[in-house]
Amino acid sequence: MRSPLLLLAALLSFCLSAVAQPQFEQGMAAARRGDYERAFALWRPLAEQGNSNAQNNLGVLYERGRAVPRDYAVAVSWYRRAAEQGNAAAQNNLGVMYEKGLGVGRDLAEAARWYERASNRNDLNATNNLGVLYERGAGVPQDTRKALLLYRRAADKGNARAQNNLGTLYQHGKGVAQDYKIAAAWYRRAAEGGNPQAMNNLGVLYGEGRGQGLDIVRAHFWFTLSAAAGNSNGAINRDATSRKLSPEQREQVEKLLSEWRAGHPR
């Protein structure tokens, strides 16, 4: 709460090198094509030499069991080595491990501390993750207004999860005056960025006629996209709205889906 390569409830991140390093970049290219064995072989010597980006990326491989047996404790050790050097992605990833209790004892306060360090280095995933902890009062005092500010900071810079979370606060009037139109606008930005939960949430607003006109066609369209992306709520809502569609409305949904796919090639 990482790049599109690895997504968890809290978001982990592969590092992209700020300075061109042929061996590191070769590892990134290998990882993008799914050749994790090659990526590991290229990154390991760099990590042992102290390269914090390579250290973080080894942590991701161990956390996910890519090219090596899954080992959360080893993942934590690599994340920590990179995080202590000030690597923001590794600081966020270490926070994820503390939040989830993977390879370390679950410690939400420690997770918040690492998220804050990463957020201070402009890691948008960490900024969103810290906002989640403040909204829930997990490891930090509950402070919905602070959560709102953190979500907005990340959302304004394009973080889709933060955009969805900000939409949720506006939809339910948490820490801010309830405003369905603003909620819909944030959900739309996140949905167009590929966030499955935002797709579902936008569909709900269309289905209820909140923040925009009642539109079962667009509701079903967004539910269908959400379900296709693996969201269980989207699948439930897709099936529920499907039973209410006329043949003409089904044709309209298919037209919208065709246009979406043309504009969002995989």
- Specify the pLDDT at position 264: 85
Cβ atoms < 10 Å from Cβ of 265: 5
> What is the pLDDT, as a whole number, of residue 18?
44
- Distance CA(162)–CA(152), nearest Å, equals 7
Which pLDDT score, from 0 to 100, does residue 229 have? 95
**What is the C-alpha separation between 62 and 85, in angstroms, rounded?**
20
State whether 101 and 178 are in the same domain. no
Cα torsion for 188, 189, 195, 201, to the nearest 10°? -30
Q: Give the global pTM.
A: 0.88
42: phi > 0 → left, psi -120 to 50 → alpha, else beta; which? alpha
User: Using an 8 Å Cβ cutoff, are 25 and 15 in contact?
Assistant: no
Residue at 22 is within a domain: yes
What span, in angstroms and rounded, lies between the C-alpha atoms of 195 and 193? Answer: 6
Q: Are residues 105 and 173 in the same domain?
A: no
Residue 144 within any structural domain of the chain: no
The verdict on residue 196 lying in a domain is yes
Q: Is residue 212 part of a domain?
A: yes
What is the distance, to the nearest Å, from the Cα of residue 71 to the centroid of all Cα atoms in its chain? 22
Whether 14 and 93 share a structural domain: yes
Rounded average pLDDT per 10-residue block, the chain, 266 residues: 31 50 92 95 95 96 96 98 97 97 98 98 97 97 96 97 97 95 97 96 96 94 96 96 95 95 84
Placement of tokens 């969103």 in the chain: 128
**DSSP class per residue in 12-64:** ------SS--HHHHHHHHHHHTT-HHHHHHHHHHHHHTT-HHHHHHHHHHHHH
Query: How many domains does the structure of the chain reveal?
Result: 2
Query: Does 135 fall in a domain?
Result: no
Last residue of a domain, one of 71, 97, 127: 127
Region for 137 from its dihedrals, namely left if φ exceeds 0, alpha if ψ lies in -120 to 50, beta otherwise: left
- CB count in 10 Å sphere of residue 162: 28
54 CB-contact burial (10 Å; exposed 0-12 / middle 13-18 / buried 19+)? buried
- The answer to whether position 160 is within a domain reads no
Q: What is the CATH number of the domain that holds 9?
A: 1.25.40.10
Write down the pLDDT at residue 21: 82
Q: Which domain range does residue 226 map to?
A: 168-266
Residue 19 has a pLDDT of 47
Please report the pLDDT score of residue 212 as a whole number: 86
**Half-sphere exposure of residue 130: CA atoms within 13 angstroms, side-chain side:** 26
Taken in order 146, 148, 152, 158, the sign of the CA dihedral is positive
Task: State how far Cα 83 lies from the chain centre.
Answer: 20
Last residue of a domain, one of 127, 149, 176: 127
Going by the DSSP 8-state scheme, the letter that residue 157 receives in this structure is T
